[in-house]
Structure 1
């Protein structure tokens, strides 16, 4: 289900184009929206650290062009966008999707799937999630 939510969120921001630059922009918009939602819960520094941790965890699957050091979120996001845009469309989609999935998996391990799905739906304004599987908080 979370893969569907991720795909839906990216496709909403990607439009009809499948050029690497458009895909990279969509991936970074999706990451920014999730970062903004996380910031409300854990603060900007912790939210940025979670994204940086996801980048670190994906380095074995994705050869990032240059080290993406932790720092201000906007700098990290720009470096990610530039790296993704320099790839083929397929590589860009894989790398961005893997990064977002890794971040979501990490959130699930920290706060559980129901709360993570709520956060994703709130961040990305998706309504396709099965609401009956989510706990009421």
Structure 2
């Protein structure tokens, strides 16, 4: 699936400092999503994603309620920094996958993949149309 390929490609490009790279990714994604569904909509999607990912990574922080500006990712960044690079990369990948699974169920695969490409500057694959048709 194109969406997972985009995330896998992004994870493969991450430097050793996963926490900083992850924050940059999430901030870019948040900007794109907030422009569509608003901050409350993004926060709800993110909170649900964290709750689901906590079954695999119980150290993922619960979202502050209500979320405060600039603090949504602060504890996530701290927790990532405490992990080994491989473990942090795996957790961030799962959280991104979970988030985009929820998003795709709401707005569709094609629009979700378009948002990811817009947020992260990932070029569209020549195969993307075929992959979307096969899903």
Task: Report what 1:84 is aligned to.
Answer: 80
Q: Which has the higher contact order (CA 8 A, sep 6+)?
A: 2
TM-score (norm 2): 0.84
Unaligned runs of 5+ in 2: none
Shift in CA distance, 24/47, structure 1 to aligned 2, threshold 3 Å:
same
Structure 1 residue 121 corresponds to structure 2 residue 117 = yes
Task: Report what 1:5 is aligned to.
Answer: 6
Which runs of 4 or more aligned residues in structure 1 lie more than 2 Å from their structure 2 counterparts after TM superposition? 7-12, 65-70, 128-135
Q: CA RMSD in A?
A: 2.0
Contact in 1 for aligned 2:81/2:88 (Cα 8 Å): yes
TM-score (norm 1): 0.83
Unaligned runs of 5+ in 1: none
Contact in 2 for aligned 1:37/1:119 (Cα 8 Å): yes
Aligned residues: 129
- 1:46 CA displacement: 1.1
